[in-house]
Amino acid sequence: MSNKKIDVQGTPVTVYSDKDMDFISLTDMLKAKDGDFFISDWLRNRNTVEFLGIWEQVNNPDFNYGGFAIIKIQAGLNNYKLSVKEWVEQTNAIGLTAKAGRYGGTYAHKDIAFEFGMWISAEFKIYLIKEFQRLKEAESAQLGWDIRRNLTKINYRIHTDAIKANLIPPELTPAQTNLVYANEADLLNMALFGKTAKQWRDENPDNKGNIRDEANAAQLVCLANLEDKEIRSTIERAINSSPSLRNKKDLIEAFVDSVSPKAQVDAEWQAFVARKKVEELDRIIADEGLNPDETKTFVDNAFRDGSIPTTGTAITKILPPVSRFSRNNNHSAKKQMVLEKLAAFFERYFGLS
């Protein structure tokens, strides 16, 4: 879980990722608002509570509807106040969290943070979304560059026999050439990470994992390119242990199977992601019987704005005709199912292309 900073109209705002979700510091954002205001002032607003409740219903299967109902009744009253801690404890919410320590403060899922941005000002919200998108695009671009750079470095198949004949590859420094490599794994570790497994363990005595559990997506692709079953198993374990990569596992593995060391990896990655994105959206449209044109416009706007809208009339335009007054309330159930699928699709592809 690494913290990054974005600059929103001169205000540094912290962003971090956890469990496939991006969180933005509301505490940092609040510094851009004129006057003495607190996050609790925003939380006690009835419109805020309704928005948070809808977001949790769509994204949180463990949401406490009973606790939410009590808060919703009291929201907006002059003498009512609500803290983030109370909101989380009473509703089991996952969209807001309070952190202690150096980067402490109140953090919100990016969907909620964008809504909070509107409370500061419409202009601030627009620049917040723009800078967040810039961050994700930079991460995606770096992924492609790192893959190409590392594949260029180890663009040949390394075999045990070759290692015995030539233990020292030209990429290593003079200091590293003095090391004795016990096996093929440590040669790959040196090529990709610049250190052996033992060196990594000595530097990280409290970490129960190993050096390859810390690999990023670019390094994983390079490892996979060596076509070793044991390495592929290591890659799968590393992906499963990474919150930011877990919902992209099949994408990374499919791309790894198709890429070659001589490929223009960054361009091929972008084309691969774009193709898969269209295929998956078409499948959702077909499975749910959605309006194709309206759905594509809805999704394009979501990627432009940085979140899937859960309220308003836009979502109703894409749904198939269902009576709002049916006894089984099929309209509400269908709406929630579609929102869940589109939200998962958005989280999977946002920032990748």
pLDDT one-digit tens code per residue, 221-250 = 666 555 454 555 655 665 666 566 667 777
In this predicted structure, which of 60-69, 177-186, 269-278, 344-353 has the lowest mean pLDDT?
177-186
Average pLDDT over residues 287-314: 86
Q: Which residues contact 285 (CB under 8 A, 6 or more apart)?
A: 292, 295
Cα gap 149→129, rounded to integer Å: 30
Q: What is the pLDDT of residue 88?
A: 93
The bridge status of strand 3-8 relative to strand 21-25 is: unpaired
Residue 352 has pLDDT above 70, yes or no: no
Q: What is the pLDDT of residue 40?
A: 85
Mean pLDDT of the chain: 76
Cα gap 244→195, rounded to integer Å: 24
Which of 1, 48, 52 lies closest to 22 in space, CA to CA?
1
3-class DSSP assignment, residue 27: helix
Which residue type occupies 228?
D
Residue 34 has pLDDT above 70, yes or no: yes
Q: What is the pLDDT of residue 248?
A: 74
Q: For 148-198, how does the pLDDT look when each residue is reduced to its tens digit (9 = 90+)? A: 555 544 443 333 334 334 444 455 455 544 444 445 566 667 766 777 778
* The dihedral sign for the CA sequence 292, 56, 128, 140: negative
Residue 296 has pLDDT above 50, yes or no: yes
3-class DSSP assignment, residue 97: strand
Q: What is the pLDDT of residue 108?
A: 93
